[in-house]
């Protein structure tokens, strides 16, 4: 959420940013916010003046009573009562206006970084860099579910009977590989100096609306019936929520955290949810990284964070590339985002396995995450990035480490987590 003062003083910039994100239907919100804010400030001034006048007159009542001027004192009491009644009305009006301002402000997108390419959707994202040589083997690479099933590692039919489409059972070496990747990613981030966390897997609605847009919430989140709780769609929501309504001493920054969690997503409107595989699913596990830092450090951390993901994937012999997300592909709270995509030898193209985002102070402003610095309090900057998210990541792993005979190589970095195994054999 933007600073109302910024919107008030830079309406043209805010409107151009909306146009750059191809959300022209939101342009009217800027003028509405400015008008409502003007009205609420006028009401506040009137209320403050009336409150001051009421307090001043109230002090006269005692003196009038002491002087025996009871009739004047009674008239003054009536006047104070009228002031109080009108003041209550003004306070109600002010709160209503502030709520209307907030509702609209929550819909106005964050100001994107000048480096973000302008484009309508993800088809206009821009490739930045490739890491590792993408290889197409001289044998046919089966669909990922077939690779898993030949290793007795996947049971979709039972999962469908138990929970429906979009769920799975992982078994045997594939289940172990899944856990190995998560454990390796955890230790990888700890070695980078991040603090390991296991967060709550449910969060309240005020945290949900603090970390994401209403559109994202509707498309992603599962609500717990009869309770003010949602299943997390990704662990950074719970991790950022940890600091809601807190003031962090500046010397404690940056907060560098890596978290494990299951994630639950409705995947509303997603295509292929019933396809036989584990690419787009309702439940998965994830190792995440989150940074809370000073504003001047956020871009440095942004570059450092996506490079960690690249390094992790390359250590498992998986070629990747980075894509700069264009303006139309950025969620409303983000100022800049880079997707990490892994090479698929079967499809002969890259596919998304992670995303790194800088949200500047948008989440911190909504959640009231402030920093106490030398020159006063200010809002922190928040960033998040996927370290690894199997089972989608397993697709890239299996395809890139598959041998012609159906066996799968285990890279050296994963062998300690696989009991020393260097090969999975059908």
Secondary structure of residue 196 in the 3-state scheme: strand
The three-state secondary structure class of 154 is strand
For residue 358, list its beta bridge partners: 336, 383
Which pLDDT belongs to residue 62? 66
Question: Mutual orientation of helices 27-66 and 70-105 as an angle, nearest 10°?
Answer: 160
* Nearest C-alpha neighbor of 341 from the set 305, 386, 277, 298: 386
DSSP class per residue in 10-26: -HHHHHHHHHHTT-GGG
pTM of the shown model: 0.89
Q: Are 334 and 342 in contact (CB under 8 A)?
A: no
DSSP tag of 225? T
Q: What does the DSSP assignment read for 324-372? A: EPPGGGS-TT-SEEEEEEEEETTTTEEEEEEEEEE-TTHHHHHHTEEEE
Q: What is the pLDDT of residue 369?
A: 98
How many whole angstroms separate alpha carbon 153 and alpha carbon 43? 65
Q: How far are the Cα atoms of 392, 396, 398 from residue 145, in angstroms, in the given order? A: 11, 12, 10
Can you tell me the distance from the alpha carbon of 306 to that of 304, in angstroms, rounded to the nearest whole number?
6
Q: What is the pLDDT of residue 274?
A: 46
Cβ pair 111, 2 in contact under 8 A: yes
C-alpha 143/C-alpha 43 separation (Å) is 64
CATH 1.10.287.40 for domain 4-105, yes or no, is yes
Instruction: Return the DSSP state at 124.
Output: G
Is the CB of residue 57 less than 8 Å from the CB of residue 81? no
The domain 122-424 belongs to what CATH superfamily? Bira Bifunctional Protein; Domain 2 (3.30.930.10)
How far separated are the first and last CA of the chain, in Å rounded? 52
DSSP-derived secondary structure letter, 224? P
CA 162, 229, 218, 280 dihedral sign is negative
Q: Rounded CA gap, 303 and 210, in Å?
A: 24
Residue-level pLDDT at 273: 46
DSSP reduced 3-state for 6: helix
Burial (0-12, 13-18, 19+ Cβ within 10 Å), 355: buried
DSSP string, 355-419: EEEE-TTHHHHHHTEEEEETTEEEEPEEEEEEEE-TTHHHHHHHHHTB-TTS-EE--GGGGGGGT
DSSP strand E in 140-282: where? 154-155, 169-170, 195-197, 202-203, 222-223, 230-231, 246-249, 255-264
| Angle at the Cα of 92 from the Cα atoms of 91 and 93, rounded to 5 degrees | 90
Tens-level pLDDT at each residue, the chain (426 residues):
899 999 999 999 999 999 999 999 999 999 999 999 999 999 999 988 888 887 777 777 767 676 777 777 767 777 778 778 888 889 999 999 999 999 999 999 999 999 999 999 999 999 999 999 999 999 999 999 999 999 999 999 999 999 998 899 999 999 999 999 999 999 999 999 999 999 999 999 999 999 987 777 777 899 999 999 999 999 899 999 999 999 999 999 999 999 999 999 987 555 554 456 888 889 999 999 999 999 999 999 999 999 999 999 999 999 999 999 999 999 999 999 999 999 999 999 999 999 999 999 999 999 999 999 999 999 999 999 999 999 889 999 999 999 999 999 999 999 999 999 999 999
Domain boundaries, the chain: 4-105, 122-424
């Amino acid at each position: 959420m933007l600073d109302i003062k910024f919107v008030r003083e830079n309406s043209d910039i805010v409107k151009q940013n909306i146009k750059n994100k191809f959300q022209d239907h939101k342009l009217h919100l800027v003028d509405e916010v400015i008008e409502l804010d003007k009205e609420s400030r006028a009401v506040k001034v009137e209320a403050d003046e009336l409150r001051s006048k009421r307090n001043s007159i109230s002090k006269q009542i005692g003196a009038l009573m002491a002087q025996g001027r009871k009739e004047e004192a009674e008239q003054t009491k009536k006047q104070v009562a009228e002031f109080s009644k009108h003041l209550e009305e003004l306070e109600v009006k002010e709160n209503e206006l502030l709520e209307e301002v907030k509702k609209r402000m929550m819909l106005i997108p964050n100001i994107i970084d000048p480096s973000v390419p302008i484009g309508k959707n993800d088809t206009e994202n821009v490739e930045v860099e490739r890491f590792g040589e993408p290889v197409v083997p001289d044998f046919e690479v089966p669909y990922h579910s077939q690779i898993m099933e030949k290793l007795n590692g996947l049971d979709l039919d039972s999962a469908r009977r138990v929970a429906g489409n979009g769920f799975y059972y992982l078994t045997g070496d594939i289940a172990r590989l899944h856990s190995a990747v998560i454990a390796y990613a955890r230790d990888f981030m700890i070695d980078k100096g991040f603090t390991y966390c296991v967060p709550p897997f449910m969060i309240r609605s005020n945290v949900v609306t603090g970390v994401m847009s209403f559109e994202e919430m509707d498309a992603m989140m599962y609500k717990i019936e009869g309770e003010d709780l949602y299943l997390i769609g990704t662990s950074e929501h719970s991790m950022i929520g940890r600091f809601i309504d807190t003031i962090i001493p500046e010397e404690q920054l940056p907060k560098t955290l890596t978290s494990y969690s299951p994630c639950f997503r409705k995947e509303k409107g997603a295509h292929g949810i019933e396809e036989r595989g584990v690419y787009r699913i309702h439940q998965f596990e994830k190792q995440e990284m989150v940074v809370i830092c000073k504003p001047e450090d956020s871009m440095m951390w942004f570059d450092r964070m996506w490079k960690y993901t690249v390094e992790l994937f390359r250590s498992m012999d998986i070629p990747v590339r980075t894509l700069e997300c264009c303006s139309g592909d950025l969620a409303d709270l983000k100022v800049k985002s880079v997707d990490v995509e892994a090479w698929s030898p079967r499809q002969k193209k890259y596919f998304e396995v992670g995303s790194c985002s800088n949200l500047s102070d948008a989440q911190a402003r909504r959640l009231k995450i402030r920093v106490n610095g030398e020159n006063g309090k200010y809002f922190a900057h928040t960033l998040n990035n996927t370290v690894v998210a199997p089972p989608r990541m397993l697709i890239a792993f299996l395809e890139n480490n598959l041998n012609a005979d159906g066996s799968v190589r285990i890279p050296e970095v994963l062998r300690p987590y696989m009991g020393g195994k260097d090969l999975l054999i059908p």
